Amino acid sequence: MVKETKLYDDLGVSSGASEADIKKAYRKAALKYHPDKPGGNEEKFKQISEAYDILSDKEKRELYDQYGLEAARKGGVPMPEPGQGGGFPGGGGFPGGAGGFPGGGFSSGGGGGGPQTFHFSSGGGGPGGFGGFSSGDAFNIFNSFGQQGGFDDEGDDYGGFANLFGGRAGRRAGGMGGGMGGMGGMPRQRARSPERTQVTVKMPVSLEDLCTGATKKMKITRKGPSGQPEEKVLTVNIKPGWKAGTKLTFAGEGDSQPNGGQQDVVFVIEQKPNPVFTRDGDDLKMSIKLSLKEALCGFTKIIETLEGKKLKIEQRLPINPGHIITYPNYGMPISKKPGERGQLIITIKVDFPSSLTDAQRKAIEDNF
């Protein structure tokens, strides 16, 4: 039983469709939705092209049927969330060896006392990869299908597509950019330059590292110009004060693309939760809990800041629950204003007793 049927539905075939059925369905849909045809739909054209790319490839189709679309896109079994078991027969290893699995995946690991190293593959299995399936990928599949005679079937009227790709007329197509004249009024397509795609990877970073700055070594496995996987280490210098969502782009460091050029690799900062502090813009927030005695009679506490410094908090007067104490320049560094910082905002919480003894009750009644 297949995990999902979306790609089959996109082509209008059943999950048990033969190769011939899939080819025929793609041919019909591609000619219907081609963007250069009146009434065409580029988004649908991309969808059916990706569906054909996966379902016409035996290995990709098996991955899709068993594990779903993301596995087929990445060329391997999806990686479990951190802290979960491997979920694979034999105790949790990943097919494909150390870097995760062929053509896809992302995992992180510590590097002892040195910088943390992350491992991921930018998706060497085919069009799209982590960067998503692009219009350029769709046109490449369409052109390749035509050059292989996919539009040259007897008994079908496909408006002259066969002649464009060197079918029975014996002509070799130079791609769709050569023009589409003589196709029943279909407008001539402009030449398309190679489309630059991006592979985006989330990079979890602790709040401490975002406060002090850090260096991360990112080990990528990408598809080289020859189509073979190759490894490279990229160095990401995290500046103090960076926020979640900050992007750092390494131009041309991703997969080599079938239409020329290479993907850009984009790392996106993702802030890890902190058990003590929360971030609000450039400010840091935390709370401290007081006993009823401390709230009424005063207290002295030593807290540790995000950077490990000791900060003394002292109060001699009664204090209400919800009272806020602020410490300027103890928050996050402001990356665009060197030397400036946000505030540390501390909220007071009071731990009221759930019950009182007779003596405690009498003391309160006598004194308040």
Same fold, 1-73 and 275-349: no
| pLDDT given for residue 182 in this prediction | 39
Give the pair of three-digit tokens for residue 180.
């589409």
Burial of 329 (0-12, 13-18, 19+ CB in 10 A): exposed
Beta bridge partners of 202: 268
The CATH code for residues 196-269 is: 2.60.260.20
* 362 vs 368: CA distance, rounded Å: 10
Task: Please report the sign of the dihedral spanned by the C-alpha atoms of residue 10, residue 202, residue 135, residue 263.
Answer: negative
- 106-139 pLDDT, tens digit per residue, is 334 444 444 445 555 554 444 544 445 666 677 7
The rounded distance, in Å, linking the Cα atoms of 64 and 82 is: 23
Closest C-alpha to 202, from 265, 150, 264, 270? 270
Cα–Cα distance for residue pair 82/45, rounded to 1 Å = 36
User: Looking at the predicted structure, is the pLDDT value of residue 247 above 90?
Assistant: yes
Residues 176-206 have pLDDT tens digits of: 443 343 344 444 444 455 566 888 888 999 9
pLDDT at residue 287 is higher than 60: yes
Residue 119, helix vs strand vs coil = strand
Phi (first) and psi of residue 102, to 5 degrees? -60, 125
Q: Which residue has the tokens 């909220």?
A: 347
Range 149-162 average pLDDT: 49
The answer to whether 48 and 11 are in contact (CB under 8 A) is: yes
CATH topology of domain 275-349: HSP40/DNAj peptide-binding domain (2.60.260)
Tens-digit pLDDT profile for residues 252-271: 888 887 767 788 889 999 99
Token pair in block for residue 19? 């190769």
Per-residue pLDDT tens for 210-239? 999 999 888 888 888 877 888 889 999 999
Place of tokens 């896809």: 104
pLDDT value for 348: 96
Residue 313 has pLDDT above 80, yes or no: yes
CA distance 56 to 294: 71
Looking at residue 237, its pLDDT comes to 93
Q: Between 11 and 254, name the one with better pLDDT.
A: 11
The gap from C-alpha 208 to its chain's centroid, in whole angstroms, comes to 23
Put simply, whether the predicted model's pTM sits higher than 0.75 gets the answer: no
Higher pLDDT, 275 or 148: 275
CATH 3.40.50.720 fits domain 1-73: no
pLDDT recorded at residue 69: 85
Q: Mark 182-192 as b/e (b = at least 16 C-beta within 10 Å).
A: ebeebeebeee
Listed by start position, the domains of the chain span 1-73, 196-269, 275-349
Average pLDDT over residues 322-330: 95
In angstroms, the CA 258 to CA 255 distance is: 9
Rounded to the nearest 10°, the torsion over CA 85, 87, 91, 96 is -110
